[in-house]
Structure 1
């Protein structure tokens, strides 16, 4: 039987080392789906419940494996569905290749069923590389360039293959005019380094500083040891952008935690008071959380020269890979003898963690959502992977979960889309089937798509050496983050018709799938519940009924935000008195003397 174009696509994926393709079938990709059957499902076709979930799973796989994620979708609606996941990859700089079907070439332009102008549709999201393959001879170069571009630029790319072409016999490109061959699949990793004189100038800036602050993002992940050495040498504290939460352990006394709206008070205070700033591998966009312009001399290290110097008036911009650049910088740094700045940071960090514990232990109706993560933090295995969704629960992931050991964590950092928490966790399990995974998800995101992907988890659990995948649902029947944004930013009360969501038993649904399922309505049961799901012999759902009126108060809450929230409550917000009491109790913990 001759090799078809669909067969060749899968062979080239195997050549690239692809082990999973996250997708959903449709007649626009029948030729490729048939090839999976002939190839004994190598690479494995991982069937999601929706193409957007396929894209999210590919993003999660890429984030936690470091390899290129691959998703597959049919023409028309299937192609449209993957867009959100691909935009998530684009904005978080994640390498993903989307292979998408298209209507038969003979029908194009005829307003045929499911005919969509896919090149126009993907033009922005796959702007680094987008191609439609119309003859078999295009395939090697098209697929290889898609992978190489995705890896080199850390971005999504897309290859469109019409349905009829997939079923044709594959013929390779020839040594002929207008034929473009391709070299064998490989993933070169060039080391980009800034000039020596620029590194020397950066050292001069850091050596001159008396109060050095470091901000790390996901681009510093391979340079954790070097960041620690720079911090030790300069006496700096280290704040973490949310996508870089897993770069350094929160057990280090000078790590101030997350920065920004979901950040910590020590990070806010360190940026407020520093005189020198080193940014490593971060494109953190919220300049209001960085030092005042003119307050601090700044150095930035980033591998992408197009993104450097965008967020703060940095004096020295070093375009280079973080690990090698810091390695070259370290011998030029002078050891700071005066450690008073570092000691101030470390005291602030100790006080903050005590405050977090006090806030977590406050009574609420029925469960304080802060306590959910507070009880998880000391129990979670040191090799666990944590995924977080977008919502008020993200606040507690950002502030209350202590990273340590080999823990990894991520979320939709820049797009901040709802819904990736559970599919990210699935992607993480395929990337690391021998490690436990925990997804922290609000009930809004769970109803949006997380419940359906529990079916996917149940289907594939037998493939994972460590079958533990825990989905913790913050169950408050409220689209809570938006509710608080209405109050704090808009000064308007909660509009229940848009904000309340139906009450659903997530535990009952999980139980119907054969999963371990626990419902918690009493905060004193939380610790034992976490022990049980983390010790389960398979996937589990922890359904925690949380108080929606525990406010996600930022550590730097402005007068305008407090004023807007108060005005919203006075305008007739439901449960206004309970909100005021809960908010006052929570904020007051920042001023209560620590028990230590």
Structure 2
């Protein structure tokens, strides 16, 4: 006898129409009906994480690497709570995710039933554009369609709450009865062009500018050639937000690198020296690294009018897709011979030398900047990079140039540790033929990464190309926070809060059937990294690095904080002596090259 089609079957069918290929999640009694429907269907594929937080990060990774909607599911109660971190990552980095969250039977709601929590309140902020509980089967197709359209239009998470009894109910036969809404699983967008009067005003500001800087964000994804033409036309330097870094070619002489606390000295010189700022598709929050208010006349381009003037007092707002607006500007901007260009190029050359010299500073046992610099030399052209939060981000910004054919992602605005391995897994699922490289510190690995190495061990044999290289920087310290304690508080490192227990990452990888390697001597660095990229299975490269290598903000901002860091290190006594020596050497490199 044929099984009766349920509302859960209808959900899976609708996801297929929305071209969902994978659902990340974790099982529980609450979403069992949905999981059963996934099992019965030809697709989408269900990929089980080891924790709902990881599953949510994987859905974010699906959205970021695949440029599509990521989908995650969980049970009610604790499973739902665990989703929050990943969903906030999607919200703050503006990527589309749909969460299908189970709830107890409607008949028990309000009784303090087992695992009953108020999911509407729980998700009210993280999914404010669209949050809906499905209370009848007839409601379901419309809610799924609106969830996807909202996620795509707003670049934000949508949450659909699915009571258990609704998941089990027979699928409805929708018609035209009163109270039934029949929708289409379709979404599209048009061209958004800037207004003529705003363009004229922007062109006037640019014509009067003598020292122009571009700040490029993720809104310029896939638009490097246009951005480069615009910079060449204006003689402008190009700084990027953290999210914008993968979308420019950092070999270009006008690209100064990432701005902000973890940025480059070239980007700091550009933004502190410019008299005109053109912000392209960026909402970067590091406001103290923008030009001082009043120094630069500013223009901002964004498809979202709500963010115009959000970070800097702009004079002109151009609302439109950055590709369209850049095209509008290029049609009208004249060629110009600008001496500012040579100043920018000199700052870029200086920064590249600083970056090289920093990596060559001896450390005990290895300088992490040298490790990441050597890793950068081996990145395949089509690499997909996943970067974890912490000191890894500093080294990524300062020592890695994403190849023009590659991409890279991290938890930027939320800055949540533990994202790299879930992201890397999603990157591999999206494009199994492409190599993946992940970079994470030992703190992030012990927080979430180690668990998802188990998932890696279960998935890698399904991939067309098994190359997956994880470099784990092992220094037994939450290094970024240790340096923040010294830098912002003038306090010594607090050992009880900062120490990361030693863990055998390479040995653990071997236990899981992966390939584990360990580097504790600089003489082995190149040989081991070469081998890591030749192994036909995922590799975990554990590198013992020096926690005292400084994480200095770019000068001139960093110079202003040196005394605070010296005070903190001096208070550590003998244990701070090595860090103080390294700090002085790094400061000396900066000053000598300026």
TM-score, scaled to structure 2: 0.97
- Kept in 2, the 8 Å contact 1:200–1:329? The answer is no
Deviates more, 1:308-317 or 1:166-175: 166-175
Quote the residue 2:33 is aligned against.
31
Deviation at 1:570, TM superposition (A): 2.6
Quote the residue 2:44 is aligned against.
43
Quote the residue 2:218 is aligned against.
218
- Kept in 2, the 8 Å contact 1:222–1:322? The answer is no
Quote the residue 1:326 is aligned against.
326
Name the CA distance, whole Å, in 2 between partners of 1:585 and 1:560: 16
Quote the residue 1:378 is aligned against.
377
Output one character per residue of 1:252-310: Cα deviation in whole Å (capped at 9) or x when no partner. Answer: 11100010001101110011111111100000122211111111111110011111111
- Kept in 1, the 8 Å contact 2:279–2:299? The answer is yes
Quote the residue 2:358 is aligned against.
359
Name the CA distance, whole Å, in 1 between partners of 2:24 and 2:498: 32
Deviation at 1:560, TM superposition (A): 5.2
Deviation at 1:316, TM superposition (A): 0.9
3-state SS of paired residue (1:348): helix
Deviation at 1:403, TM superposition (A): 2.0
Asked if 1:83 is matched to 2:84, the reply is yes
- Kept in 2, the 8 Å contact 1:251–1:403? The answer is no
Deviation at 1:105, TM superposition (A): 1.2
Asked if 1:67 is matched to 2:68, the reply is yes
Output one character per residue of 1:412-465: Cα deviation in whole Å (capped at 9) or x when no partner. Answer: 111111110111111111121111111110100000010110111111112222
Distance 1:592 1:516, change over 3 A: farther
Deviation at 1:593, TM superposition (A): 6.2
Quote the residue 1:308 is aligned against.
308
Quote the residue 1:472 is aligned against.
471
3-state SS of paired residue (1:246): helix
TM-score, scaled to structure 1: 0.97
Deviation at 1:205, TM superposition (A): 1.3
Quote the residue 2:22 is aligned against.
20
3-state SS of paired residue (1:542): strand
Output one character per residue of 1:369-417: Cα deviation in whole Å (capped at 9) or x when no partner. Answer: 1111110112101111111111112100011101222121121111111
Name the CA distance, whole Å, in 1 between partners of 2:231 and 2:560: 35
Name the CA distance, whole Å, in 2 between partners of 1:558 and 1:545: 26
Deviation at 1:565, TM superposition (A): 1.6
Deviation at 1:200, TM superposition (A): 2.3
Distance 1:331 1:296, change over 3 A: same
Quote the residue 1:143 is aligned against.
144
Deviation at 1:357, TM superposition (A): 1.0
Output one character per residue of 1:157-215: Cα deviation in whole Å (capped at 9) or x when no partner. Answer: 000011122111110433122221112x2230222111123222212211221111000
Quote the residue 1:458 is aligned against.
457
Name the CA distance, whole Å, in 2 between partners of 1:293 and 1:569: 33
Name the CA distance, whole Å, in 2 between partners of 1:455 and 1:195: 52
Asked if 1:501 is matched to 2:500, the reply is yes
- Kept in 2, the 8 Å contact 1:393–1:441? The answer is yes
Deviation at 1:217, TM superposition (A): 0.4
Aligned length: 591
- Kept in 1, the 8 Å contact 2:379–2:403? The answer is no
Quote the residue 1:240 is aligned against.
240
- Kept in 1, the 8 Å contact 2:280–2:322? The answer is yes
3-state SS of paired residue (2:197): helix
Quote the residue 1:181 is aligned against.
182
3-state SS of paired residue (2:469): strand
Give RMSD over aligned pairs: 1.3
3-state SS of paired residue (2:193): coil
3-state SS of paired residue (1:242): coil
Name the CA distance, whole Å, in 2 between partners of 1:587 and 1:434: 43
Name the CA distance, whole Å, in 2 between partners of 1:482 and 1:169: 53
Output one character per residue of 1:81-116: Cα deviation in whole Å (capped at 9) or x when no partner. Answer: 000100010000010000000001111111110011
- Kept in 2, the 8 Å contact 1:76–1:114? The answer is yes
Output one character per residue of 1:503-545: Cα deviation in whole Å (capped at 9) or x when no partner. Answer: 0010101111111211001122222222221222121111000
Output one character per residue of 1:533-576: Cα deviation in whole Å (capped at 9) or x when no partner. Answer: 12221211110000000001112244552222222223235611
Output one character per residue of 1:123-167: Cα deviation in whole Å (capped at 9) or x when no partner. Answer: 110110000001100011000000000001000000001112211
- Kept in 2, the 8 Å contact 1:62–1:95? The answer is yes
Quote the residue 1:250 is aligned against.
250
Note the residue ranges of structure 2 that are not aligned, 5 or more in a row.
none
Distance 1:160 1:573, change over 3 A: farther
Quote the residue 2:417 is aligned against.
418
3-state SS of paired residue (2:243): helix
Deviation at 1:592, TM superposition (A): 4.5
Name the CA distance, whole Å, in 1 between partners of 2:233 and 2:46: 49
- Kept in 2, the 8 Å contact 1:251–1:404? The answer is no
Distance 1:361 1:284, change over 3 A: same
Name the CA distance, whole Å, in 1 between partners of 2:59 and 2:460: 17
Question: Which runs of structure 2 are paired with 1:115-126 in the superposition (5 Å)?
Answer: 115-126=116-127
Quote the residue 2:583 is aligned against.
583
Name the CA distance, whole Å, in 2 between partners of 1:76 and 1:128: 22
3-state SS of paired residue (2:471): strand
- Kept in 2, the 8 Å contact 1:494–1:573? The answer is no
Name the CA distance, whole Å, in 2 between partners of 1:219 and 1:158: 24
Name the CA distance, whole Å, in 2 between partners of 1:45 and 1:584: 52
Name the CA distance, whole Å, in 1 between partners of 2:300 and 2:152: 23
